[in-house]
Structure 1
Amino acid sequence: MTPRGSGPHDTARHGARTGAQEVAPPGGCPVPYGAGGGGQHRGAERPMLLTDIVSSPDPHLVYRELRDTYGPVAPVELEPGLPAWLVLGYHELLVITRQEQLFSRDPRNWHALREGRIAPESPLMPMMRYHPVCYHEDGAEHRRMRVPFDEGVGRLNERAARRLIEVRCRALVARFSEEGHADLVNDYAALAPMMSLAGLFGLGPAQSEELVRTVLGVVGSNPGSEEAYQTQHRIIGEMIARQRSAPDTDLTWTFAHHPNLVTDEERYAAMHLMLIAGNAPTISWIAQTLRMMITDPRFAARLRGGRLGVDDALDEALWREPPLNAMPARYVLHDIELGGQVLRRGDCLIMGIGAANDDPEIRPDEGEDWGNRAHLAFSAGPHRCPAQLPARLIARTAVRTVLNLLPDLELTVPAEELVPSPSPWTRVPARLPVSFTPRRVPEGPDTGPDGAPSDPVG
């Protein structure tokens, strides 16, 4: 997409829009926000907590207010007293995702972590401490560790995977289809991705449900996050142990045997990442798409007319409600200026994907086609999400399955009551209560011990 022009945040006011420049501290300027002392470059009020921004009723309104106050890079807090920068600008986000020599993915470069200013029990730690995985590496090490993800996803048999996902999703709908009402978040969207993804890893339904609870705990960044992470670690260890001598039939085998993963620690970390990256954001994607399909008159009319418009809703959700509204993180390697702010070595940058998609320089006008892929929902640069294919396959199949099986869905509360669960990263409605005509939905045949109709990897 071609930017429309400089808009209200021009270069003269807020610094370079297309690059980053190393700088010396401006004379007389207060200590930049995030540089150990906790001062800030512009603005006098204490920065907002990231969770309060992402979980607000209208985060886009907050993003616009932050952009008006600070420009395309704004100070925030991850926890009270723990500073970071939120990158709001589309072009600035492209800069930090494409320039590894200036902005690292390795949290060991974060001064707050090095200086012990984050409690070990902080709910941020499962997501933001260093793990030996491509997500937290740069350069050659990132490329080495990335290969198993790309090869594993590339070997997916899409037809078999779709059938597996349909079986798992149909089984979830069958649990509540005869009741005539359900919560499509907690009864369905929160379960469907991991039930499906775990099947691709070779797990049966019971083990899949245990994994569901662990992943939700990890990405929730709440007091139970560390316990959830350790439970997930145990399950992954059991999965890898089973696959040491098993045939090459699923994604677990790929990670257990790939020569680019040279230690058990790397294998564990790779599977943690794949399970989280393919699950937590997809929960949001499914939930937000279902919400749009049911509440937005444009999509609701198609639904009732038998023309579901699922792909249109999926693509629009990536613009309006990206699965990761904010994504951790990049760490500044050199004192630098970006978007008019002076950043210091070791500062933490949060990628404001929802804000960047709403940047007035690039966002579509109302009424324009939202189906283009210029959004940053899957990030950009070398670390662009490796789980896009399974995520889209799961999201599309999950949405279509529930809408096909329950075509007369009606929301049972006013749409304005659909508020998100608190999280610094994702926007998932806390509930999506619906009613429908009760009907019996057969779960469908399971032809394998894990509930999969056929081998999803081939």
Structure 2
Amino acid sequence: MSHPLPPPACPAHARTTGLLPLAEAVGSADPRGTYRRLREQWGSVAKIELEPGVPAWLVMGYRELLTITRQEQVYSRDARNWRDLNDGVVSPRSGLLPMMAWRANVIGADGPEHRRLRQPLDDGVARIDQRRTRRQVETMCAKLIEEFSARGSADLVNEYATIVPMLSIASLFGLDSGEGHELLQALIALFGSADDSQLGNRNFEEILADTLRARRAEPRDDLTTALLGHPNLRDEAEHLQSMVVMISAGNETVTAWISHTLRLMLTDPRFAARMHGGRLGVDDALDEALWRDPPMNNMPARYALRDTELGGQHIRRGDVLILGIAAANDDPAVRSETGEVEPGNRAHLAFSSGAHVCPAQVPARLITRTAVNTVLNLLPDMRLAVPAENVTWRPSPWTRVPVSLPVEFSARYTTAIGPDRKTPH
């Protein structure tokens, strides 16, 4: 017998539609339990609601998710095929649009056009000097920790995990610290898909457009200049949208990845014991975090190009399908009976699959590994300052990022980040 779904965020509307709001699932205390109840009710493909009156299919089956990511001739990435958007069901002021509306970039393209726009991203990632980047990120992490170490307490989300990826990625594109913080606030709004989402998107693009103009006038050795000179990009809009993709996708997801790995260390005694005991290396811990709570719990989107069938559901032309990555990672078809993740298993779908698989897995892992390693080394006795059940989540139908992660530790007055520094004590 199926368990009841959690009470909806908008009871009156939910009684009419009977559909679970997706943001409620992501923000619940137990999203895995919510997805399992949806699976009991619907099977591997469930009808959910993106916002009041806007339905979608949530693809929760591992096999079905691979199907829609690998068959672009049936399931397009181009949002101009979204029937409810074309028919006016989705408001032009909808907070969904910054994440879901079509843009002239690699995310919204299929086939040869996608490959043309993907190449500059792959080439840009290949340019990154991993050794230099690791050193820069390590120094940045140590400096952030130094700022709060004397207090004996910190918020590892807002004082650390949200700052590290943005400043790291911003520096690769030649942006300074102040611009990085501005981008961060804009992106938090964008990924929230709420009333301020479109404003956040405009602010985000304005900062990047200013950076592009500055690099045209004065080229530098950074990724912004590299994109400007790439032969595959034809105009200003494509330069801008390439930056949008690389910075937005890299920041929010790495923030979530750092946060979840540290949260597991602080709240799961089995996970922490395996790490401290040397039975689980840092990279294995990072992958277990991706299995258990992927940064993009749900990823928009694919649009059906014709009537078809998926997971026993009739999919109509123009329907929108959401990649239920967290649910697919928990699919009984691939999940062990015990639920434990075998070290070295990277068959999770946290980076998606198919032609649109994440192009920046290597630098994302580098930044996350360095951030996790540094805080564990410099604050070895840190502990969560609130009960684990009190950790709450930023509102979003897509990403699952803690609102805060307050910790306490032995106060330290200096950190070893340079030759003139004293050893931590």
TM over 0.5: yes
Map of 1:392 onto structure 2: 365
Deviation readout 1:396-427 (Å, 9 max, x if unpaired): 11111111111110111111222222210011
2:133 maps to which of 161, 164, 182: 161
Q: Distance in 2 between matches of 1:161 and 1:227?
A: 32
- 1:267 correspondence with 2:239: yes
Does structure 1 retain, via aligned residues, the 8 Å contact 2:280–2:343? no
Deviates more, 1:304-313 or 1:279-288: 304-313
Deviation of the 1:301 alpha carbon: 3.1
Amino acid at match of 1:390: P
Map of 2:316 onto structure 1: 344
Report the CA distance shift for 1:64/1:270 in structure 2 as closer, same or farther (over 3 A).
Answer: same
Q: Distance in 2 between matches of 1:405 and 1:141?
A: 46
- 1:297 correspondence with 2:269: yes
Report the CA distance shift for 1:71/1:301 in structure 2 as closer, same or farther (over 3 A).
Answer: closer
Deviation of the 1:116 alpha carbon: 2.0
Kindly report which structure 2 residues correspond to 1:408-427, keeping only aligned pairs within 5 A, or say none: 408-427=381-400
Q: Distance in 1 between matches of 2:218 and 2:280?
A: 41
Unaligned runs of 5+ in 1: 1-43, 447-458
Deviation of the 1:330 alpha carbon: 0.1
1:72 maps to which of 44, 52, 77: 44
Q: Distance in 1 between matches of 2:416 and 2:167?
A: 14
- 1:256 correspondence with 2:228: yes
Does structure 2 retain, via aligned residues, the 8 Å contact 1:167–1:443? no
Kindly report which structure 2 residues correspond to 1:45-444, keeping only aligned pairs within 5 A, or say none: 46-247=18-219, 249-301=221-273, 309-366=281-338, 367-442=340-415, 444=417
Amino acid at match of 1:393: L
Q: Distance in 2 between matches of 1:306 and 1:379?
A: 29
Amino acid at match of 2:110: D
Q: Distance in 1 between matches of 2:398 and 2:416?
A: 33
Deviation readout 1:68-116 (Å, 9 max, x if unpaired): 1111110000001101000010000000000000000000000111112
Deviation readout 1:225-260 (Å, 9 max, x if unpaired): 111111111110121112224445111112222111
Deviation of the 1:380 alpha carbon: 0.3
Report the CA distance shift for 1:229/1:282 in structure 2 as closer, same or farther (over 3 A).
Answer: same
Amino acid at match of 2:356: H
Does structure 1 retain, via aligned residues, the 8 Å contact 2:53–2:89? no
Deviates more, 1:402-411 or 1:169-178: 169-178
Deviates more, 1:290-299 or 1:75-84: 290-299
- Which structure dedicates a bigger proportion of its chain to helix? 2
Does structure 1 retain, via aligned residues, the 8 Å contact 2:291–2:341? no
Amino acid at match of 2:297: N
Structure number with the bigger relative contact order (C-alpha 8 A, sep ≥ 6) is: 1
Secondary structure of the residue that 1:279 maps to in structure 2? helix
Map of 1:449 onto structure 2: none
Report the CA distance shift for 1:277/1:441 in structure 2 as closer, same or farther (over 3 A).
Answer: farther
Map of 1:20 onto structure 2: none
After TM superposition, where is structure 1 displaced by more than 2 Å over at least 4 residues in a row? 245-248, 298-310, 364-368, 440-446
Deviation of the 1:303 alpha carbon: 5.8
Q: Distance in 2 between matches of 1:216 and 1:267?
A: 22
Q: Distance in 2 between matches of 1:388 and 1:155?
A: 14
Does structure 2 retain, via aligned residues, the 8 Å contact 1:324–1:377? yes
Report the CA distance shift for 1:418/1:111 in structure 2 as closer, same or farther (over 3 A).
Answer: same
Does structure 1 retain, via aligned residues, the 8 Å contact 2:288–2:341? no
Deviation of the 1:368 alpha carbon: 4.7
TM-score (norm 1): 0.85
Map of 2:12 onto structure 1: none
Amino acid at match of 1:139: G
TM-score (norm 2): 0.91
Q: Distance in 1 between matches of 2:160 and 2:391?
A: 16
Deviation of the 1:305 alpha carbon: 6.0
Amino acid at match of 2:348: H
Q: Distance in 2 between matches of 1:101 and 1:60?
A: 31
